[in-house]
């Protein structure tokens, strides 16, 4: 069966994942803040369980959920726009994949910061009654100090989301590889009588005169089912090349221009079939959905 295991960005727009990523990010940042040598004196002076709960759950976690939601959505938009759909599987490709999101990390701050800094200022000013604070000097988004303070948060959040995406895509592929698919068997005829053939072996089905010939990797049979019936019965790997030919894309090798807006499809067993330009476009569209199974096709 054919299935495309590309990056599924919609998976990170999950409330549970966003909560977990935000919690991990805030926890790591708080550890750095509270245990940094420059902040030890401040922490000891201002510490109380009430201050701690307020600071962790409201000032940080709840408000930064806004950032995480926007970052999760932004990753999907950014990755789709740049067509970063193929799952990286080697350390080198994973590293390059992360590097491609560097502009996103540097720029997404300007999308969520007006919201988070504004909400934080309103909370501090009206709820906590910290009237000594000034929005433009302490909370204004276009503040270099605030920008640099937010970069670690954006970096940690983005890396976690991307790491989950890569892990999910690879795991899905591994699970699919172990999943026992139900085999599709075709009823065919031979000189010795009726038998069944595994559809995975079928290269093409061709109508010649009044018979429908099922060509496999090593022999051929005939069947009483017409091409329309077979196309409905078989999986997504099979597509009509022309009125008299149904091909298995798994065995497609390449194609080339022939004449008069027509092309030649070449199969791995050496067979060739005529095809129109419009039909070729449909086949190329189907190929994009079946890249996991089609490994030897030569795009031109």
Q: Give percent above pLDDT 90 in the chain.
A: 33
Q: What is the pLDDT of residue 183?
A: 75
pLDDT at 89 over 60: yes
Q: What is the pLDDT of residues 199-222, one digit of tens each?
A: 888 999 999 888 899 999 888 999
Question: Average pLDDT in the 150-159 region?
Answer: 94
Highest mean predicted confidence (pLDDT) among 30-34, 46-50, 276-280: 276-280
Is residue 42 domain-shared with residue 190, that is, in the same domain? Answer: no
Task: Round to whole Å and give the CA distance between 212 and 188.
Answer: 10
pLDDT at 180 over 60: no
Query: Rounded to 5 degrees, what are φ and ψ at 25?
Result: -60, -50
From 143, 158, 178, the end of a domain falls on: 178
Q: What is the pLDDT of residue 112?
A: 94
Tell whether pTM > 0.85: no
Question: Average pLDDT in the 171-187 region?
Answer: 64
Q: What is the pLDDT of residues 23-34, one digit of tens each?
A: 999 998 877 766
Helix, strand, or coil (residue 187): strand
The total of structural domains in the chain comes to 2
Helix, strand, or coil (residue 263): strand
pLDDT at 47 over 70: no
Task: Round to whole Å and give the CA distance between 246 and 283.
Answer: 11
Is residue 36 domain-resident?
Answer: yes
Is residue 103 domain-shared with residue 171, that is, in the same domain? Answer: yes
Q: Give percent above pLDDT 70 in the chain.
A: 84
From 161, 178, 195, the end of a domain falls on: 178
Is residue 297 domain-resident?
Answer: no
Task: Round to whole Å and give the CA distance between 81 and 95.
Answer: 19
Average pLDDT, the chain: 83
How many other β-carbons are positioned within 10 Å of the β-carbon of residue 7? 22
Is residue 247 domain-shared with residue 272, that is, in the same domain? Answer: yes
Q: What is the pLDDT of residue 179?
A: 44
Q: Which domain holds residue 274?
A: 185-289
Q: What is the pLDDT of residue 176?
A: 52
Which CATH number does the domain housing residue 253 bear? 2.40.50.1020
Report CA-CA distances (Å) from 66 to 63, 69, 73, 114, 239: 6, 5, 11, 11, 46
């Amino acid at each position: 069966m054919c299935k495309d295991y590309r990056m599924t960005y919609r998976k990170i727009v999950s409330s549970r994942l966003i909560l977990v990523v935000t919690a991990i990010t805030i926890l790591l940042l708080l550890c750095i803040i509270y245990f940094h040598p420059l902040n030890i004196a401040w922490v000891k002076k201002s510490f109380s369980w009430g201050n701690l709960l307020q600071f962790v759950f409201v000032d940080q976690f709840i408000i930064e959920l806004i950032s995480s939601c926007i970052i999760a959505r932004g990753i999907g938009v950014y990755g789709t726009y740049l067509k970063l759909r193929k799952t990286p599987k080697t350390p080198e490709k994973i590293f390059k994949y992360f590097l491609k999101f560097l502009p996103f990390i540097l720029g997404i701050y300007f999308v969520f910061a007006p919201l988070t800094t504004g909400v934080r200022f309103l909370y501090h000013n009206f709820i906590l009654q910290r009237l000594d604070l000034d929005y433009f000097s302490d909370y204004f988004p276009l503040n270099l100090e605030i920008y640099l303070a937010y970069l670690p948060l954006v970096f940690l959040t983005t890396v976690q989301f991307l790491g989950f995406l890569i892990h999910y895509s690879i795991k899905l592929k591994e699970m699919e590889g172990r999943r026992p698919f139900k085999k599709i068997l075709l009823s065919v005829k031979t000189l010795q009588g009726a038998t069944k053939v595994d559809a995975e072996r079928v290269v093409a089905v061709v109508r010649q005169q009044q018979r429908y010939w099922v060509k496999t990797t090593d022999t051929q049979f005939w069947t009483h089912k017409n091409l329309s019936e077979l196309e409905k019965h078989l999986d997504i790997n099979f597509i009509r090349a022309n009125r008299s030919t149904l091909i298995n894309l798994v065995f497609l090798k390449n194609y080339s221009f022939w004449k008069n807006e027509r092309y030649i499809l070449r199969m791995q067993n050496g067979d060739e079939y005529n095809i129109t330009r419009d039909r070729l476009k449909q086949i190329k569209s189907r190929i994009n959905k079946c890249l996991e199974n089609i490994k030897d096709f030569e795009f031109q």
